[in-house]
Amino acid sequence: MSIREGLSYCYELYGLRGVLAMSAYRLFGRPRELAAYPQGIRNPIYIRMMTADEPTYKHVLLEQEYAFELPFSPKTILDAGANIGTASIYFIHRYPDAKIIAVEAEDSNFAILRRNVRPYPTIVPVHAALWNRDGEISVAEPEGTLRGWAFVTREDSRGPKVRAVTMSTLMREMNVHAFDLAKIDIEGAEREVFEDTRWLSGLGALMIELHDRLRPGCCEQVERAMQGFTRSQRGQTTFYVRRL
């Protein structure tokens, strides 16, 4: 990316503030964190420049990747793979009466998530990885990806450890009987999470990114579990809504 293209991209994301931050980065060589102020969002969003935070912020809050029309107003929402909290913040502005459980496994992402959602008392950040058993699991970068741009959970000794929880454990601890809406982007762990489908009994809609490129079989596992839902697609997000 040329300097001009980089500055144009920063202006698209952040306005003049981003251009000044990128100019400082070019001059002094120090990546920095930026507070972004997207239209319609009450509080700043903290973003680490030159990281995956930027496309996540763009897709979710500027391009509104999750702006699917629901036939109901959700009261309980799961944001699994919450990253830095952009989806949770989008949902709380669209559904202000909802309780949102934001689950993120990777340490540095969780630190920014917690900071970003602090102004919203009905968003509950949870530092854990969804899995098919309770315990502990490793968080690692998948092979063949740029450093820091994706993290997967795996049952081996490589990478930092994080708490692993099943969906039923998470719901019990958060005092949630059913999720009206679930957004799931967990880099291939959908294969394990959708082994147990009991948590789907009260689900109204699901927004999910499937990761067969990382874990073959993810699509098949989710499709088998989502019988009784209609399916549509927008970009990389697959949308399921329960048939009435």
User: Each residue of 151-186: pLDDT tens digit?
Assistant: 666 666 566 889 999 999 999 999 999 999 999 999
Note the pLDDT of residue 216: 86
Residue 1 has pLDDT above 90, yes or no: no
pLDDT per residue as tens digits for the range 121-139: 999 999 999 999 999 988 8
Answer whether 0.95 is exceeded by the pTM: no
Tens-digit pLDDT profile for residues 19-56: 666 666 656 555 578 888 888 999 999 998 878 899 99
Average the pLDDT over 108-117 and give the result: 96
pLDDT tier, 148 (very low <50, low <70, confident <90, very high otherwise): very low
**Smallest Cα–Cα separation from 133: which of 205, 68, 189?**
189
User: Could you tell me what percent of the chain has a pLDDT over 90?
Assistant: 64
Token code pair at residue 122: 């009905």
Q: How confident is the model at residue 5 (pLDDT cuts 50, 70, 90)?
A: low
Cβ contact 46:84 at 8 Å: yes
pLDDT band at residue 193, thresholds of 50, 70 and 90? very high
- Determine the CATH number of domain 64-242: 3.40.50.150
Could you give the CA distance from residue 194 to residue 202 in angstroms, rounded to a whole number? 15
Class of residue 69 by CB neighbours under 10 A (exposed 0-12, middle 13-18, buried 19+): exposed
Q: How does residue 244 score in pLDDT terms, banded at 50, 70 and 90?
A: confident
As given in the structure block, the two tokens for residue 67 are 């702006």
Q: Are strands 161-165 and 135-140 parallel, antiparallel or unpaired?
A: antiparallel
What pLDDT, on a 0 to 100 scale, did the predictor assign at position 124?
Answer: 98
pLDDT value at residue 154: 60
Q: Can you tell me the distance from the alpha carbon of 7 to that of 24, in angstroms, rounded to the nearest whole number?
A: 11
Q: DSSP for the chain? A: --HHHHHHHHHHHHTHHHHHHHHHHHHH----EEEE--TT-SS-EEEETTSTHHHHHIIIIIS-TT-PPPSS--SEEEEES-TTSHHHHHHHHHSTT-EEEEEE-SHHHHHHHHHHHTT-TTEEEEE-EE-SSSEEEEEEPPTTS-TTS--EEESSSSS-EEEEE-HHHHHHHTT-S--SEEEE--TTTHHHHTT--GGGGG--EEEEE--TTTSTTHHHHHHHHTTTEEEEEETTEEEEEE--
41 is written with which tokens?
């969002």
Residue 8 has pLDDT above 50, yes or no: yes
Cβ neighbours for 117, distance < 8 A, ≥ 6 positions apart: 85, 88, 89, 102, 123, 125
Q: pLDDT, tens digit, for every residue of 209-218?
A: 998 887 788 8
Task: Give the residue with greater pLDDT, 198 vs 34.
Answer: 198
Distance of CA 121 to the CA centre of its chain: 18
> How many residues appear in the chain?
244
Would you say residue 221 has pLDDT above 70? yes
According to CATH, where is 3.40.50.150 located in the chain?
64-242
Reading the block at residue 179, the tokens are: 């999720």
